[in-house]
């Protein structure tokens, strides 16, 4: 590519709103441009980098038996009604009517579409296992797009779907993906960790997320430095301690101005862990078959020294959504905010009790009366409810596996793998006949990688104060050829020779000053820079630098530029390949 003809141009200053360095450089180097909130165009560099990432993904997906397909972005709503997700997913999925008024949706994922495909193609166990994947546009009307390509509304995603006769088959395909994903991310140069995850709206049980650890991430990851334990905070567990002692009789005490656990503990001169607090939420429950909504007050009871993890509470309550309850709603169920507990509340309240409370005795809880608390309350004796783990794990808590203190960090989810089991095949009647002629639902898995998000994470991970420093596997071009000489002939010849040899070259043939050219080369950040200038030219050489180390300078002989460049490309590729991560999934 001749830079004089390049569609994009570089920007000297960061456009307003480019808050992270990775995003700023992608904009300034001319990889991407914003069209609207969470909507971006890919310019030649951005698109080429994307295609290189996609190629890595294709190779690894094909290697585990994937067959590439392409499904429509627009789906008839019917299939989404079959699985119920037409009703259970809120505004995040965009809907419209076609000219005859049929309900249509913009697919935000393709479980429904692929299951519809599969039920037409799969009839016998002899056809299984199968794996299909696509690399395709998704639209999700996220309420809050942000951070450039990290959290967008329209994006490219690799999504694959596996079909098996049994759990063992699913486990095999899950393990294949687990391993392939590490290969994909490491071939692209992105360091990731895998964490246990919540399966959320996807249904199913086992799932993992691939996280790029970074302060710009929005997910909180709980890790154990001493053992292998890692999990998204939404599902992370920890070792709890309990106050088990002989039950004592309930006693009502006056506790004025003690609306928080801290105030209460100080007033009564007890530990926060000797109290039980109530968290009030209103859950929305949606009937999957007709979309009817029902709201119900949920009270989460947790020990005073712990916090409720709302995601866990929502799962335990089997609610579709949660929102904080208004004081009136709480009072209507015979409870008092600030002095609340499940004791004496209306029977239609959903009580979820953390095991920290259920397994402890004689906790101080609200009396549901302004200014009063109850001493020595006990779960089971004084109130009942569903026992579940709804506590939020934090740094310093004991690892559930080895007991050492946990750590917490921020991460960006770049990939995920889910065991769907029969969540979709059952509701959409996607079955196969086994050896005995019995119809059984196909066992499914679903696996995603955010392609644009991966590029954004790479930009975040690979930059310095001058610009991008992308790995050679994903860099749009391998070589940046900078010509500083008046007579273009030498540079033109080298450009032609390198291109002919199959090397991707950006040739800066512009009539610009050396400073401008170097600054742009730094900003765009292609791995190998070849400078043609009089300084080295009179010795029959060209100057060579690696973007990753601008301090060090090499030189290539004019008559062996092609061979030496090829060797340099191979060397960089080799270095990256030597960092390939091979990791296996072991079922617990």
The least CB distance from residue 371 to RNA, in Å, is 29
- Binds RNA by CB under 7 A, chosen from 62, 409, 461, 536: 536
> d(Cα 345, Cα 493) in Å, to the nearest integer?
84
How far is 296 from 322, CA to CA, in rounded Å?
10
Residue closer to RNA (CB basis): 264 or 482: 482
Give the other-Cβ count within 10 Å of 541's Cβ: 16
DSSP string, 462-522: SB-SSSB---TTT-S-SEEEEE--S--HHHHHHHHHHHHTT--EEEE-SS--HHHHHHHHH
The nearest distance, CB 38 to RNA, in angstroms, is 6
Structural Rg of the chain based on CA atoms: 29
Q: Is 309 in the site for RNA (CB under 7 A)?
A: no
Residue from 274, 315, 360, 416 touching RNA (CB under 7 A): that is 416
Choices 254-262, 328-336, 340-348, 506-514 (CB under 7 A): range interacting with RNA: 506-514
Q: Of 90 and 262, which has the nearer Cβ to RNA? A: 90
Q: Which is nearer to RNA, 17 or 65 (CB)?
A: 17
Kindly tell me which of 343 and 417 has the beta carbon lying closer to RNA. Answer: 417
The yes or no reply on residue 38 touching RNA (CB under 7 A) is yes
- Under the binding rule (CB under 7 A), the answer on residue 520 touching RNA is yes
Applying the rule CB under 7 A, the residues between 59 and 78 that interact with RNA are: none
CA distances from 86 to 78, 288, 565 (A): 8, 9, 55
Comparing CB distances to RNA, the nearer of 238 and 447 is 447
Is 519 a binder of RNA (CB under 7 A)? yes
Token output for 287? 């009937």
- For RNA, the binding residue among 4, 19, 344, 487 (CB under 7 A) is 19
Angle of helix 451-461 relative to helix 167-188, nearest 10 degrees?
Answer: 40
Under rule CB under 7 A, which residues in 261-300 are in contact with RNA? none
Q: Which stretch binds RNA (CB under 7 A): 74-82, 378-386, 498-506, 542-550?
A: 542-550
**Least distance in Å: CB of 147 to RNA?**
5
Residues between 430 and 459 with contacts to RNA, criterion CB under 7 A: 448, 450
Alpha-carbon distances of 136 from 14, 108, 110, 264, 565, rounded to whole Å:
30, 10, 10, 55, 35
CA–CA distance, 120 with 362 (Å, rounded to integer): 60
How many residues lie near RNA (CB under 7 A)? 69
Distances (CA, A) of 28 to 10, 11, 15, 343, 527: 5, 5, 8, 60, 18
Distance, in Å, from the CA atom of 114 to the CA atom of 96, rounded to the nearest integer, reads 21
CA 384 and chain centroid, separation? 37
> DSSP character for 122?
-
- Helix (H/G/I), strand (E/B), else coil: 303: strand
| Residue 44 CB, nearest approach to RNA (Å) | 17
Should residue 511 be labelled a site residue for RNA when binding is judged by CB under 7 A?
yes
First to last CA, the chain: 51
Nearest to 238 by CA among 305, 321, 314: 305
Between 143 and 225, name the residue whose CB sits nearer to RNA.
143
- Taking the complex as a whole, the smallest distance from the CB of residue 314 to RNA amounts, in Å, to 8
* Distance of alpha carbon 212 from alpha carbon 455, whole angstroms: 12
Token reading at 173:
């395909």
Pick one of 99, 144, 269, 586: the residue that binds RNA (CB under 7 A): 144
Tell me which of 252, 535, 571, 583 binds RNA, using CB under 7 A: 535
| Site membership for RNA, residue 24 (CB under 7 A) | no
Q: What's the rounded Cα separation, in Å, for the pair 304 and 292?
A: 36
Binders of RNA in range 187-206 (CB under 7 A) = 197-198, 200-202
Q: Select 76 or 533, whichever has its Cβ closest to RNA.
A: 533
Which of 53, 147, 301, 505 binds RNA (CB under 7 A)? It is 147
Least distance (Å) between residue 15 CB and RNA:
4
Q: Which of 59, 63, 65, 143 binds RNA (CB under 7 A)?
A: 143
Side-chain half-sphere CA neighbours of 242 within 13 A = 13
Q: Would you say 504 and 49 are in contact if contact means Cβ atoms under 8 Å apart?
A: no
Segment interacting with RNA (CB under 7 A) among 338-346, 390-398, 433-441, 514-522? 514-522
Opening angle at CA 472, ends 467 and 474, nearest 5: 85
Q: Measured from the CB of residue 518, what is the shortest distance to RNA in angstroms?
A: 3
DSSP result, 133-147: EEEEEEE---SS-BT
8-state DSSP, 254: E
Stretch that binds RNA, among 72-80, 134-142, 299-307, 366-374 (CB under 7 A): 134-142
Contact indicator for 518, 483 with CB cutoff of 8 Å: no
Instruction: Based on the shown chain and the rule CB under 7 A, indicate whether residue 513 belongs to the binding site for RNA.
Output: yes
Residue number, 165 or 523, with CB nearest to RNA: 523
Instruction: Determine if 215 is a binding residue for RNA (CB under 7 A).
Output: no
Task: Let me know how long the chain is.
Answer: 588
Q: Which stretch binds RNA (CB under 7 A): 178-186, 188-196, 285-293, 518-526?
A: 518-526
Stretch that binds RNA, among 52-60, 138-146, 285-293, 454-462 (CB under 7 A): 138-146
x-marked contacts with RNA along 149-168 as a string, rule CB under 7 A: --x-----x-x---------
Any contact of residue 256 with RNA (CB under 7 A)?
Answer: no
Site for RNA in 484-503 (CB under 7 A): 484, 486
The residues with which 413 forms a beta bridge, in sequence order, are: 211
Asked whether the beta carbons of 273 and 305 are under 8 A apart, the reply is: yes
Stretch of residues binding RNA (CB under 7 A), selected from 421-429, 434-442, 525-533, 574-582: 525-533
Using alpha carbons, select from 454, 453, 471, 455 the residue that is nearest to residue 578: 471
Instruction: Using the rule CB under 7 A, give the single segment among 261-269, 387-395, 515-523, 580-588 that binds RNA.
Output: 515-523
Residue 327 has a CB neighbour count (10 Å cut-off) of: 12
CA distance 510 to 483: 8
**Beta bridge partners of residue 338, listed in sequence order:** none
| Site map (CB under 7 A) of RNA, residues 313-332, x = contact | --------xxx---------
For binding to RNA (CB under 7 A), which residues are involved?
Answer: 9-17, 19, 34, 36-39, 92, 108-109, 138, 140, 142-147, 151, 157, 159, 197-198, 200-202, 209, 218, 310, 321-323, 413, 416, 448, 450, 466, 484, 486, 511-516, 518-523, 531-537, 543, 545, 550
């Amino acid at each position: 590519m001749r830079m004089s003809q390049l569609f994009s141009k570089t920007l000297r200053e960061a456009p307003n709103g480019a808050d992270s360095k990775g995003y700023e450089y992608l904009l300034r180097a001319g990889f991407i441009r914003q069209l609207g909130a969470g909507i971006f165009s890919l310019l030649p560099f951005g698109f080429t980098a994307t295609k290189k990432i996609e190629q890595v993904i294709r190779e690894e997906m094909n290697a585990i038996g994937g067959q590439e397909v392409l499904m429509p972005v627009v789906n008839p709503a019917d299939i989404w009604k079959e699985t119920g997700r037409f009703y259970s997913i809120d505004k995040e999925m965009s809907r419209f009517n076609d000219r005859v008024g049929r309900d249509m949706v913009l697919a935000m994922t393709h479980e429904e579409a692929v299951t519809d495909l599969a039920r037409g193609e799969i009839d016998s166990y002899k056809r299984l296992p199968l794996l299909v994947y696509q690399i395709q546009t998704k639209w999700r009307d996220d309420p809050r797009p942000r951070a450039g390509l990290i959290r967008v509304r329209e994006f490219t995603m690799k999504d694959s779907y596996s079909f098996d006769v049994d759990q063992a088959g699913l486990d095999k395909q899950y393990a294949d993906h687990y391993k392939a994903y590490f290969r994909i991310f490491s071939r692209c140069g992105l360091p990731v960790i895998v964490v246990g995850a919540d399966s959320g709206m996807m249904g199913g049980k086992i799932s993992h997320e691939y996280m790029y650890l970074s302060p710009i991430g929005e997910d909180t990851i709980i890790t154990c430095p001493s053992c292998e334990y890692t999990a998204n905070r939404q599902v992370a567990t920890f070792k709890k301690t309990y106050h088990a002692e002989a039950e004592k009789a309930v006693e009502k005490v006056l506790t004025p101005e003690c609306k928080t656990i801290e105030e209460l503990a100080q007033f009564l001169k007890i530990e926060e862990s000797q109290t039980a607090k109530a968290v009030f939420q209103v859950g929305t429950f949606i009937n999957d078959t007709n979309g009817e909504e029902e709201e119900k007050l949920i009270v989460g009871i947790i020990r005073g020294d712990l916090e409720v993890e709302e995601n866990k509470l929502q799962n335990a309550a089997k609610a579709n959504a949660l929102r904080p309850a208004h004081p009136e709603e709480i009072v209507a169920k015979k409870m008092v905010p600030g002095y609340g507990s499940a004791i004496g509340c209306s029977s239609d309240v959903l009580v979820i009790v953390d095991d920290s409370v259920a397994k402890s005795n004689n906790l101080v809880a609200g009396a549901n009366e302004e200014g009063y608390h109850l001493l020595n309350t006990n779960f089971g004796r004084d109130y009942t409810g569903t026992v579940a783990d709804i506590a939020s794990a934090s740094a310093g808590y004991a690892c559930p596996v080895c007991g050492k203190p946990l750590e917490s960090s921020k991460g960006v989810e770049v990939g995920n793998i889910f065991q769907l089991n029969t969540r979709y095949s059952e509701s959409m009647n996607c079955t196969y006949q086994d050896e005995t002629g019995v119809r059984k639902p196909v066992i499914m898995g679903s696996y995603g990688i955010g392609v644009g998000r991966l590029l954004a994470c790479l930009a975040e991970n690979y930059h310095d104060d001058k610009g991008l420093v992308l790995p050679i596997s994903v860099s749009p071009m391998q070589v940046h050829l900078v010509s500083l000489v008046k007579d273009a002939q030498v540079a033109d010849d080298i450009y032609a020779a390198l291109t002919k040899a199959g090397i991707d070259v950006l040739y800066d043939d512009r009539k610009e000053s050396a400073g401008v050219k170097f600054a742009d080369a730094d900003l765009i950040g292609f791995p190998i820079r070849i400078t043609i200038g009089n300084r080295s030219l009179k010795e029959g050489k060209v100057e060579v630098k690696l973007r990753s180390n601008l301090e060090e300078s090499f030189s290539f002989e004019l008559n062996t530029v092609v061979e030496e460049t090829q060797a340099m490309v191979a060397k960089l590729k080799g270095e990256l390949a030597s960092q390939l991560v091979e990791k296996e999934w072991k079922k617990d």
